[in-house]
Amino acid sequence: MFTSQRAPDLKAVLIASGVVLTLAMGVRHGFGFWMQPISQANGWSRETYSLAMALQNLMWGAFGPLAGMVADRFGTMRVVLVGAVAYMAGLVWMAVVKEPTLFIIGSGILIGLGLACTGFGAVSGIIGRAAPPERRSWAFGISGAASSFGQFLLMPIEQTLISSVGWQNAFYLLACLVLFLMVPMSFRLREPAHAKSAGHHQSIREAMGEAVGNRSFLLLVAGYFVCGFQLVFIGVHMPAYLKDKGVTDPKVAVTALALIGLFNIFGSYMAGQLGGKLPKRYLLSFIYFARSAVIALFLLAPLTPWSVYLFAAAMGVLWLSTVPLTNGIIAGVFGLSHMSMLAGVVFLSHQIGSFIGVWLGGYLFDLQGSYDMVWGIAMGLGLLAALANLPVDERPLVRGGLKAA
């Protein structure tokens, strides 16, 4: 294992990773807008597109640990470059492929790989190495806010592109945007030369075994599963849910998803700030409990555009605020040497939850003609996640008399 001779510049890292996350997460959050036009154009059921989205999320999680290993060993720049090309290719694939199985598999692999190489897990290691310990939660919060800004910025742009130039051309334009902005930013994520450090260096196998055998790590994994289930179900199925319930103005769904992004800018930033002052496990528990409460209130209240906007704003505060706290715990407990890999492992659980949430939403809707059961499952899982995070131990591990570094 190699350690950097000097930390990368924090400001440069936050700007470059912020642009990458803005695009990666912003484009991905708008995929729900394509569900109905693609399904109608190709004569597919809603479950077909849902399965494609589910596989994207599953592949995102499956590629995550590998992308993290490569980023930790060979640098974040190379990983982001691969991700930009894969993301671009996946968007083009979704525009041109009309055979259901090929659409599902191809977009699942390409978009999944693209997101794994340009998402939180891949860039978490360089952010952790760039930030001093006392500012690490804050830095993770900034990266979370950047991804939320992407959602706020790109939601209306994506909907406007679909309505003005058509859903296929919208994919082409976004593919160009991803390629021509992510590639230059990747070169700003180049880390200084590495030098061999003294002492025993934990291998990948040792780091993985240590984490999997740690109770607190497994509890974080369980909580992240619930996070993925809730967020991707809402993000993908919200536009269709509102239309089914009689809220037919597409601007309501666009505004709601944009509000989620806007308010999560503040939610992620505040979570990062509070994570440096309060126990992160208690903050995570509160977030999961609050999500279930917000969903319950949304379902009980009369459905109007304003109730949708209030729901979106409340969920936005809670949306990705789990990310800086979870990554902060991982960095604090296990150190930074394998940070990106371990973040990728936890995120794999998030994406398994995403796969089940987005697929189950489409499956149960086709089966029952309603999303009611999935909403109920989302609330129940939120309560379980709130309980699971309470006993997490945030103290650094001690290895051979030394704390993890």
The pLDDT of residue 49 is above 80: yes
The pLDDT of residue 3 is above 60: no
Mean pLDDT of 27-41: 85
Token reading at 168: 């296929």
Contact 68, 121 (CB under 8 A): yes
Helix, strand, coil share (%) of the chain residues, nearest 5:
80, 0, 15
The pLDDT of residue 196 is above 50: no
pLDDT at 7: 63
pTM for this one?
0.76
pLDDT at 217: 93
Contact 279, 252 (CB under 8 A): no
pLDDT at 257: 79
pLDDT at 10: 83
| pLDDT, tens digit (0-9, with 9 covering 90-100), for 200-247 | 567 778 888 888 889 999 999 999 999 999 988 888 788 888 888 888
- Residue 82 pLDDT class (50, 70, 90 cuts): very high
pLDDT at 1: 44
- Residue 378 pLDDT class (50, 70, 90 cuts): very high
Residues 64, 342: Cα–Cα separation, whole Å = 9
- Say what percent of the chain tops pLDDT 90: 36
The pLDDT of residue 176 is above 50: yes
Q: Is 196 helix (H, G, I), strand (E, B) or coil?
A: strand
Q: Residue 403 has what DSSP assignment?
A: E
pLDDT at 118: 93
| pLDDT, tens digit (0-9, with 9 covering 90-100), for 261-316 | 789 888 888 888 888 888 999 999 999 999 999 999 999 999 999 999 999 999 99
Residues 189, 123: Cα–Cα separation, whole Å = 9
| pLDDT, tens digit (0-9, with 9 covering 90-100), for 317-340 | 998 889 889 988 988 888 877 877
pLDDT at 402: 53
Mean pLDDT of 68-73: 85
Q: Does domain 9-188+206-395 have CATH number 1.20.1250.20?
A: yes
pLDDT at 88: 96
Mean pLDDT of 150-173: 88
Amino acid at 289: F
Give 180's Cβ-side CA count (13 Å radius): 6
Q: Where are the domains of the chain?
A: 9-188+206-395
**Averaged pLDDT score across all residues of the chain:** 86
- Residue 2 pLDDT class (50, 70, 90 cuts): very low
Q: What are φ and ψ of residue 70, in 5° steps?
A: -65, -40
Pairing type for strands 2-4 and 194-196 reads antiparallel
| pLDDT, tens digit (0-9, with 9 covering 90-100), for 100-134 | 999 999 999 999 999 999 987 788 888 888 888 77
Mean pLDDT of 186-193: 78
Residues 186, 193: Cα–Cα separation, whole Å = 16
29 vs 182 pLDDT, higher one:
182
